[in-house]
């Protein structure tokens, strides 16, 4: 198969075919952080694949090369990479495009969080142990990330949650703050809005927020029992976080409660490690295919 066909097949695979497979897989709930890394790898690999296809098309001296044949000749590997600085620059530029989209999303969300924190200073009151209470008849809990991050419970949530369940909710929200999960959810959402025609971006926008909630659930389980967290999630299930915040309820609470009450076996450490390695190396594949000596 020729280089352009290989690159086209790679872009179609990572941008159109694999996202559906990844969204339907069952192991993602067992290793949400590895699944998040996989979504990032698919989008990055798609961008680099397009850049390498453009590079190959505008570099005529490549066109007689068999795919990756330069790797088989002694000394050609270093020659191939160092001789194609423009290809590497093009790949970085391709990654900069989704990077700019994500950065713009972060900036918009940061402004919304600033406005929300300013409003909280006027209407919320301390509830104890670093969390705040906001008047509201619907049980809800969320965190406001960023500088001066806060955990907020509505009055209804504070009244209806037992101390143990409230501690579970607080552990979940503090996991969001410590893990800076808002960067992941906002970034995925921004890409989904900017690239709705790309299945990888559209599916990531739908999947990453749920995976982030599962990752925060896993961290909270270090401080509470699964049953307590599941019961607490049911109390705040109908609550919605404001723009820029991350809420304990809202994102597929039923699936998360089922996961807590009937957890599957976690992925073996070796399998998770191998998956992380593959996720990191995947964007490099089109560079190896598209850059010759």
Contacts of 53 (CB under 8 A, 6+ apart): 4, 7, 8, 11, 286, 290
Strand locations in 157-270, DSSP E? 246-247
Angle, in degrees to the nearest 10, between helices 32-57 and 3-12: 150
261 vs 146, higher pLDDT: 261
Mean pLDDT of the chain, nearest integer? 85
Confidence bin at 161 (pLDDT 50/70/90):
very high
Q: Is the pLDDT of residue 195 over 90?
A: yes
User: What value does the mean pLDDT take over residues 270-286?
Assistant: 85
Integer Cα distance of 151 and 248 in angstroms: 10
Instruction: Band the pLDDT of 66: cuts 50, 70, 90.
Output: low
Neighbours of 205 (CB within 10 A): 21
What confidence tens digit (pLDDT) does each residue in 98-149 have?
A: 889 999 999 999 999 888 888 888 899 998 778 999 998 999 999 999 777 8
Q: Are 164 and 230 in contact (CB under 8 A)?
A: no
- How far is Cα 73 from Cα 111, in angstroms, rounded to an integer? 54
Query: What pLDDT score was predicted for residue 84?
Result: 60
- Quick check: 209 pLDDT over 60? yes
The burial of 153, by beta-carbon neighbours within 10 Å (0-12 exposed, 13-18 middle, 19 or more buried), is given as: buried
Cα four-point dihedral sign 20, 21, 22, 28:
positive
pLDDT score at 293? 46
Does residue 69 surpass a pLDDT of 70?
Answer: no
Look up the domain containing 35 and give its range.
3-290
> Dihedral sign, CA of 175, 178, 202, 279?
negative
**Residues 231-258 pLDDT 10s:** 999 999 877 777 767 877 665 888 899 9
- For the chain, how big is the Rg over CA atoms in Å? 23
Chain segment 13-62, per-residue pLDDT in tens: 999 999 999 999 988 998 999 999 999 999 999 988 888 888 777 776 65
Domain count, the chain: 1
Q: How much of the chain is helix, strand and coil, in % rounded to 5?
A: 70, 5, 25
């Amino acid at each position: 198969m020729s280089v352009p066909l290989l690159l086209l097949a790679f872009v179609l695979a990572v941008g159109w075919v694999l996202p559906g497979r990844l969204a339907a897989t069952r192991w993602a709930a067992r290793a949400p952080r590895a699944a998040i890394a996989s979504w990032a790898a698919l989008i990055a690999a798609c961008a680099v694949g397009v850049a390498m296809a453009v590079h190959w098309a505008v570099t005529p001296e490549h066109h007689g090369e068999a795919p990756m044949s330069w790797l088989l000749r002694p000394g050609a590997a270093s020659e191939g990479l160092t001789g194609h600085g423009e290809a590497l620059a093009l790949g970085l530029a391709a990654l900069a495009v989704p990077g700019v989209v994500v950065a713009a999303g972060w900036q918009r969300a940061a402004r919304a969080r600033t406005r929300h924190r300013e409003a909280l200073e006027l209407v919320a009151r301390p509830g104890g142990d670093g969390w705040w209470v906001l008047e509201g008849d619907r049980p809800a809990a969320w965190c406001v990330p960023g500088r001066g991050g806060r955990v907020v419970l509505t009055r209804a949530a504070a009244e209806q949650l037992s101390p143990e369940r409230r501690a579970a909710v607080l552990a979940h929200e503090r996991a969001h703050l410590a893990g800076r999960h808002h960067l992941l959810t906002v970034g995925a959402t921004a890409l989904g809005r900017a690239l709705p025609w790309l299945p990888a971006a559209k599916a990531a926008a739908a999947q990453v927020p749920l995976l982030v909630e599962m990752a925060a659930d896993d961290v909270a389980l270090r401080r509470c029992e699964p049953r307590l967290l599941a019961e607490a999630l049911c109390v705040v299930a109908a609550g919605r976080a404001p723009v820029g915040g991350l809420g304990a309820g809202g994102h597929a609470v039923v699936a998360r409660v089922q996961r807590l009450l009937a957890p599957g076996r976690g992925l073996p450490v070796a399998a998770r490690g191998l998956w992380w390695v593959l996720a990191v190396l995947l964007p490099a594949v089109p560079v190896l295919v598209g850059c010759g000596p």
